[in-house]
Amino acid sequence: MLGNVSADLIHGAPVSLALAAGLANSIEVALAAWLLIRLAGSPVTLSTLREVAALILGAAVVSNAVTALIGATVLSYGWRMRFGTSLFA
């Protein structure tokens, strides 16, 4: 999160926007890990089709979709962008 916030600040983003974007990215990682363990069980070895499907569908697709909505919301409020533009940009 520190690297993300630092990069945003270096490129001129306001502090609140940089923190919100960093938090959104942190949520993505935590959600992906939680979904993978929830769907595949623990420990995850990726040795079964169920575990691989949980990685692809749960961790990759669902967590990215959820955080794309969060990120688009952050951008729409932080940079006054239209929600649809920031979601599909």
Reported as a single tens digit per residue, the pLDDT across 65-85 is: 999 999 899 888 887 888 888
Residues of the chain with pLDDT under 50: none
Expressed as residue numbers, the domain containing 9 is 2-88
The tally of domains found in the chain comes to 1
In this prediction, residue 3 carries a pLDDT of 92
Name the token pair of 52.
């691989």
In this prediction, residue 33 carries a pLDDT of 95
In this prediction, residue 63 carries a pLDDT of 94
Name the token pair of 15.
């502090």
Q: For 28-40, give the DSSP string.
A: HHHHHHHHHHHHH
In this prediction, residue 31 carries a pLDDT of 95
